[in-house]
Amino acid sequence: MRIVNDEAIRTHGAVRFRSEYHYAVFEYWRSAKVLRYLDRRGVRRLGRVLDDGCGGGGMTVSFAEESDSVVGIDLSDRFAAAGTVLAREKGVTNISFARTDGQALPFRGHAFGTVFSHAVIEHVANPLAYLHEIRRVLKPGGLVFLQTAPYLAPSGAHLPRLKFPVPYYLFLGRRISFGLARWLAAHSPGALDAPPDGSSFLASARKGEVKRDDLLYRVTVRNLRQNIAAAGFRVVHEDFSFSGLAKRVLPGRVVGRVPVVPLLRDILVTDMNYLLRTD
């Protein structure tokens, strides 16, 4: 899927937590942004791909359409009711899924030409072990696409926004903020700025489920750079996206300097995209 259709992404995003299949379809459409990013960086051939933390498998299906073959792995088997169904609907056959841990991959060394890690590493208990495993299974000269966000940024916090736009997680701390979001989803859902099926908090509350905090690695620009270097990767590209607030309030030349300012960058950087290689 290489066509970026913002309307389709918004439409499917609004219902993505209705079921695992709905989430996979959303991810399938959203994957076009990842492929566009690679196109703009001159990456055309993907070879054999590992989708390292595939969730429902929607992106895995899309990557399979653009590569020799793809293996999608995840700690849970969400893909069983989603990615496998979507692959069958799309007629994609060069794809497989496995339930396994990204910190201990069951693959031989140098097995993949490209590894994708999209919004995954923040959910990993030992990010350095995760990166070491990626390096082990990557072919010499292979490529890693890694995307995440600082945990103090709106996207990196993985918390619902309030109708009244206050970054409560900056003032209350992680534990209290998560508990507040869970309480509001159950008792005052109208306070959250999200459609009923567009928030995992609202979906869990509606089903009577207790949502657990799965943000295991509190990503910052500094500690992610350190882990990338410690795992033996060379950064080919490091690209940041910035919050709307930063773009509205700060002059363009100042926004460009945000990544060098500790703490401020972890609040105003909303996405971190990396292309990594081994020497």
Mean pLDDT of 144-173: 94
Number of neighbours of residue 151 by Cβ within 10 angstroms: 20
Phi, psi of 236 (to 5 degrees): -85, -45
Query: Using 50, 70 and 90 to split pLDDT, how confident is the model at 44?
Result: confident
- For the chain, the average pLDDT equals 93
Q: Is the pLDDT of residue 264 over 90?
A: no
Query: Using 50, 70 and 90 to split pLDDT, how confident is the model at 35?
Result: very high
**pLDDT at position 220, please?**
96
Mean pLDDT of 37-64: 95
% pLDDT > 70, the chain: 97
State the CATH class of domain 6-149+216-243+271-277: alpha beta
Query: Using 50, 70 and 90 to split pLDDT, how confident is the model at 263?
Result: confident
**pLDDT at position 119, please?**
95
Query: Using 50, 70 and 90 to split pLDDT, how confident is the model at 165?
Result: confident
Number of neighbours of residue 38 by Cβ within 10 angstroms: 20
**How do residues 207-253 score in pLDDT, each as one tens digit?**
999 999 999 999 999 999 999 999 999 999 999 988 877 767 677 77
**pLDDT at position 232, please?**
96
**How do residues 80-127 score in pLDDT, each as one tens digit?**
889 999 999 999 999 999 999 999 999 999 999 999 999 999 999 999
For tokens 């923040």, name the residue. 122
**pLDDT at position 257, please?**
78
CA distance 109 to 105: 10
pTM, entire model: 0.93
Angle at Cα 131 formed by Cα 130 and Cα 135, nearest 5°?
Answer: 120
Q: What type of residue sits at position 175? A: R
CA distance 26 to 12: 5
Q: Which residues contact 229 (CB under 8 A, 6 or more apart)?
A: none
Beta strand residue intervals within the chain, DSSP E: 48-52, 69-74, 95-99, 112-118, 138-148, 234-242, 269-277
**pLDDT at position 64, please?**
96
Q: Could you tell me which of 124, 123, 88, 80 has the C-alpha nearest to residue 104?
A: 124
Number of alpha carbons in the 13 Å side-chain half-sphere of residue 23: 18
145 in Cβ contact with 274 (< 8 Å): yes
What is the domain partition of the chain in residue ranges? 6-149+216-243+271-277, 159-207
Q: Is the pLDDT of residue 1 over 80?
A: no
